[in-house]
Structure 1
Amino acid sequence: MKKVFVVGCGAYMDATYGCPGEWRCLKAAALGEGEFDEPSAIIAFVRCECPGKTLVPNIGMAMKLSEIKPDVIYMSSCMAKPGCPYMSPEDAKKAIEEKTGIKVVMGTHNYQ
């Protein structure tokens, strides 16, 4: 089973848009739906906090504390959409991949 991290938008989660840590991301991973090509074990769910400066260090800390290196990092569907005033999804993806050497997939699910 693939081991994955999911990165979610903390501001979106805090705004209570039906995202309590993103149950839809968890469902898609468990069932291998959406952007997941197989059922996957989420070993960390990292919140991006505005203005995003701690995103990459927090991913590094999650790897250190979990003692598990993910096979893939997924940016949640809320993170993969343009709209963040601090960084584009593409810039976040690039920063994560450059610092970790781990492939980043944009989006997790297409549930409504």
Structure 2
Amino acid sequence: MDKKEMVCIVCPLGCRLTVTKNDDEYTVTGNKCNRGKEYAIKEMTNPTRVLTTTVRIKDGLLNRIPVKTNKPVPKDKIFECMQIINSIEVQAPIKMGEIIIKDILGTGADIVASRSMIKQIG
């Protein structure tokens, strides 16, 4: 029997959850809603995260532009995603929501610009 405690991050309540695994079945206690139960089981079986970071930008008003995944990616692929993201440079101008990398590592998630960046004049 495995047991893990965690705090649910799905809603502002921040329930303290206890997840117990017996064989292949999970039991969740401490949740005040079904979303907490779903979150806890997902955290135990296939944790995912939305990745937020920055990308180098050429000829931009600033030298980096914020980006994020448009959906969560598997937690164990985050470092691989970062290696790819850190290896690229985009060209200004960029519009918020513009896809920077399509379907990173075959996860189905796109890396998109979190803000617009104009081209630096002069």
Same fold (TM over 0.5): no
What interval of TM-score do these two structures reach, taking the shorter chain for normalisation?
under 0.3
Look at both structures and tell me which one has the larger radius of gyration over its CA atoms.
2
Give the structure-2-normalised TM-score. Answer: 0.25
